[in-house]
A and B are shown apart, each in its own frame.
Chain A
Amino acid sequence: MSGSQDAVPGIVFSTVDKLAKWAQSSSLWPFSFGLACCAIEMMSTVAGRFDISRFGAEVFRPSPRQADLMIVSGRVSMKMAPVIRRLYEQMAEPRWVIAMGACSSCGGVFNNYAIVQGVDKVVPVDVYIPGCPPNPDALLYAITRLQEKIRAGEAVPGGRVLTPAPREKVVSPWKK
């Protein structure tokens, strides 16, 4: 929100875009969708002590149609991955994704046949949270971080690129 210096007191000037982003970031509606251990910490975040509503994100919606933030809380199995993809597509835009915990960020300790090594192979992710499971504080931090990204226009509504270019070979930053 910005106002010019010689503005009439009590009147704030802004662009519609900024106003919309402010509104979107201040009332994120998470999707009440738990996968594994992290979902229990997500519930702790909702409860009185950590109180996610201080950040305007307490309205957990059981239907993807009404939610705009998907918190992938737990390991994503090969059987669940297509379902997550479908749920993501059922969410209305703008929509954001937080990968909560080591498993949904990169597979965690489960590098095996059953677990998808990171939910970013299935849906585009805006914020990753490390931890197994992350503390409720970490989830709150991720939400504030996402809010900053939304306000700055870094988190693209509807997710990032869905058709990536062919992967280039990544060169190690540590290799001389």
Chain B
Amino acid sequence: MHLEDTRRLFEQARERFGEDISLSDRPSGEGSIVVSGPRVREFTQWARSQSFDFFADIGGIDYLFESPRFDLTYTVYSTGQKRHLHYKVKLDESAPAVDSISDIYAGANWHERELLDMFGISFNGHPDPRRILMPEHWRGHPLRKDYPINGEQVQFSGNFGDVEPQTLPPAPGQDAFAGWQALETTPGSYTQLIEPAAGPDGQPDADGRMILNMGPQHPSTHGVLRLLIELDGENITRTLPDIGYLHTGIEKTAETLSFQQALTLTDRMDYLSPLGNNLAYSLSVEKLVGVEAPPRATVLRVILAELTRIQSHLVWLGTHALDMGAMSPFFYCFRERDQILDMFEMISGVRMMTSFICPGGLREDVPDEFMPALEQFMRVFPSRVGEYETLLTKNPIWLERTRGVGRLALDDALAYGVSGASLRGSGLAWDIRKAEPYCGYETYEFEIPAGTHGDVYDRYLCRIEELRQSHKIIRQAMNRLEPGPVQTNDRKMIPPPKNELDNSMESLIHHFLISTIGFTAPHGEAHVPTETGRGLLSFYIAGDGSPKPYRMRARTPSFANLQALPVMLQGGLVADAVATIGSIDIVLGDVDR
């Protein structure tokens, strides 16, 4: 959204809120409105009435040496007007608290819990104020700037004898591993969360209800998701997801690394679409620094992002079918996926975590063998999609297992911030590539598929169609690929080519500085929404003039999509839980970060 749009909205809101709102003085390409703490609920309601129907994110930034200390950044989207709005609440250091908005946008629930967990901000009137990512017994709030990053000192040859290898946590008693058992939360304490209707774990209570624990080790939860499901016979009455089993501290770690180094962490976040994450991060950093990637890099980025979308969907299709007992699609899908991974290996040397798209363009140009390999893939792929469809689309067992299962109404989907094919399955063709285009997506011709029923089958059809549309986009991108540079010419961001170093002192200096400390970003905040295979992914990056991101907030699609899972499971059969989890295509690395 442009600064003028924000100004216009601000003037509109001014009539109602008067002095309680102001424009943020932090430099940012799109601007944001600062709302006084007590009126945030009212402002949220107003924003919702201004057709901002899609709730995306609440991010926190800890400006430790400023007063007020905390910035909460709310982001809401308008699917109809194709724009978004940031508004902020500033909170003081002593007992930071603000009113919860989880009854206005249901999706705020988990985001507020995350802020409670990571920043220690309490939300008045929140229905379930508990930690969400860290274990219950954790002390402190990791994303606060005065919280140390911890970890262990690494032994190098120079300090080998001085560093004591640690065992975390300190092991009590004789058994070196006993300390871990003591840490495990007993199952009983979780079942209390669903009281009073439920009986003890594994046994039905007086009403005949029982609690089923699913995960964190379960072959069909796509990672380490844990669900507590309350059952009435075969029917699910309530579901409580428990996440954080893959919490990696990526946002905290990024604050200690330079912009180029932090890029490598984004690969490992949503590990099924590494290049999509690279792209989202790079776009935000480029916006913050104020450079643009050259045209060839932009076209190649589109090709790589779409290839990533295809391979991500292929893993989804293979495992989703596998969960429901269809073994063969798995082998079919991984066949094509390996073809794509071979191309990634060709350009970068790595199959998955390429970090190939970087701020300023691409790491390097693609090798000559890339285009023929891509051409070969493009030739076979449409018929391969046909093969998957032959296996599943009209398969009676598949229809029986997916039709009418795991329904999600459109209103719920929007309020929870569900995006990607999970939202489109519910009937709204909303895709960031069309709504707020980046990388020149507005110039490509493609369609956004949408379902009608919002069930597992519609989500399946949407993703299958997206495979074809991505193929179409890649074909167009291949035709417009021109030779040229793949990195920006800005010497402050990309090191100058080696041959200049012999002749130019300035080039040598820039090369040295970028190689040793990295490029610096100005004070300010930047945010570019993108669409990955899973949905709306955006990085909210704050710079403070140093070569490191002051804060890197990742708004990940899986986190929001998973939050709507209890709604989809409600009233369904326990056997359908597996089908529903598969259909929202979550990646736990993306949920927990």
- Whether the Cβ atoms of A35 and B177 lie closer than 8 Å is no
Given A82-B181, A112-B149, A133 contacting B353 (CB threshold 8 A)? yes
CA distance A113 to B491 in the complex (A): 36
Residues in A whose Cβ lies below 8 Å from that of B368: none
A161 to chain B, nearest CB (A): 9
Given A48-B335, A75-B248, A113 contacting B181 (CB threshold 8 A)? no
> A126 near B: Cβ within 8 Å?
no
> B154 near A: Cβ within 8 Å?
yes
Q: Which of A36, A43, A64 has the most CB of B within 10 A?
A: A36
Which of A33, A37, A115, A121 sits near B271, CB closer than 8 Å? A37
CA distance A152 to B217 in the complex (A): 32
- Whether the Cβ atoms of A40 and B315 lie closer than 8 Å is yes
B410 to chain A, nearest CB (A): 32
- Whether the Cβ atoms of A79 and B338 lie closer than 8 Å is no
B267, closest chain A residue (CB): A37
- Whether the Cβ atoms of A37 and B352 lie closer than 8 Å is yes
- Whether the Cβ atoms of B161 and A36 lie closer than 8 Å is no
- Whether the Cβ atoms of B168 and A117 lie closer than 8 Å is yes
Residues in A whose Cβ lies below 8 Å from that of B157: 172, 174-175
CA distance A8 to B431 in the complex (A): 75
Main secondary structure of the interface of B (DSSP, over half): loop
Q: Which of A12-20, A142-150, A163-171 sits within the interface?
A: A163-171
Which of A49, A78, A115, A117 sits near B334, CB closer than 8 Å? A49
- Whether the Cβ atoms of B142 and A83 lie closer than 8 Å is no
Residues in B whose Cβ lies below 8 Å from that of A47: 330-331, 334-335, 338
B339 to chain A, nearest CB (A): 10
- Whether the Cβ atoms of A77 and B244 lie closer than 8 Å is yes
Q: Which of A44, A112, A171 has the most CB of B within 10 A?
A: A112
> A23 near B: Cβ within 8 Å?
no
Residues in A whose Cβ lies below 8 Å from that of B135: 78-79
Residues in B whose Cβ lies below 8 Å from that of A163: 174-176
C-beta contact mask, A62-95 vs B, less than 8 Å → 1, else 0?
Answer: 1010000000001101111111011100000000
Residues in A whose Cβ lies below 8 Å from that of B588: 36
Residues in B whose Cβ lies below 8 Å from that of A169: 161, 164
> B265 near A: Cβ within 8 Å?
yes
Residues in B whose Cβ lies below 8 Å from that of A99: none
Residues in B whose Cβ lies below 8 Å from that of A123: 177
- Whether the Cβ atoms of B335 and A113 lie closer than 8 Å is no
> B384 near A: Cβ within 8 Å?
no
- Whether the Cβ atoms of B151 and A171 lie closer than 8 Å is no
> B268 near A: Cβ within 8 Å?
yes
| Count class of interface residues, chain B | 35 or more
Residues in B whose Cβ lies below 8 Å from that of A40: 271-272, 315, 352
Residues in B whose Cβ lies below 8 Å from that of A170: 155, 160-161, 165
> A116 near B: Cβ within 8 Å?
yes
Residues in B whose Cβ lies below 8 Å from that of A164: 176
B342, closest chain A residue (CB): A49
A162 to chain B, nearest CB (A): 6
- Whether the Cβ atoms of A107 and B160 lie closer than 8 Å is no
Residues in A whose Cβ lies below 8 Å from that of B218: 62
C-beta contact mask, B65-109 vs A, less than 8 Å → 1, else 0?
Answer: 000000000000000000000000000000000000000000000
> B589 near A: Cβ within 8 Å?
yes
CA distance A163 to B172 in the complex (A): 11
- Whether the Cβ atoms of B252 and A112 lie closer than 8 Å is yes
CA distance A22 to B162 in the complex (A): 43
> B253 near A: Cβ within 8 Å?
yes
- Whether the Cβ atoms of B338 and A37 lie closer than 8 Å is no
> B294 near A: Cβ within 8 Å?
no
Residues in A whose Cβ lies below 8 Å from that of B177: 85, 122-123, 162
> B376 near A: Cβ within 8 Å?
no
> A27 near B: Cβ within 8 Å?
no
Which of A39, A77, A82, A135 sits near B184, CB closer than 8 Å? A82
- Whether the Cβ atoms of A110 and B246 lie closer than 8 Å is no
CA distance A170 to B142 in the complex (A): 32
- Whether the Cβ atoms of A114 and B247 lie closer than 8 Å is yes
> B167 near A: Cβ within 8 Å?
yes
Given A35-B224, A74-B246, A41 contacting B184 (CB threshold 8 A)? no
Q: Which of B219, B252, B337, B588 has the most CB of A within 10 A?
A: B219
Pairs A-B, 10 closest by C-beta atoms = A172-B160, A82-B184, A47-B334, A111-B151, A114-B249, A37-B271, A113-B150, A112-B249, A62-B219, A85-B180
- With A49-B335, A132-B268 already in contact, 13 other A-B pairs whose C-beta atoms are closer than 8 Å: A36-B223, A40-B271, A48-B331, A78-B168, A79-B134, A110-B250, A110-B253, A162-B177, A169-B161, A171-B160, A171-B161, A172-B161, A175-B161
Report A's interface with B, CB cutoff 8 A: 32-37, 39-41, 43-44, 47-49, 62, 64, 74-75, 77-83, 85-87, 107, 109-117, 121-123, 132-133, 135, 162-164, 167, 169-175
Report B's interface with A, CB cutoff 8 A: 134-135, 138, 142, 147-152, 154-155, 157, 160-161, 164-168, 174-177, 180-181, 183-184, 216-219, 223-224, 244-250, 252-253, 264-265, 268, 271-272, 315, 318-319, 330-331, 334-335, 337-338, 341, 351-353, 588-589, 592
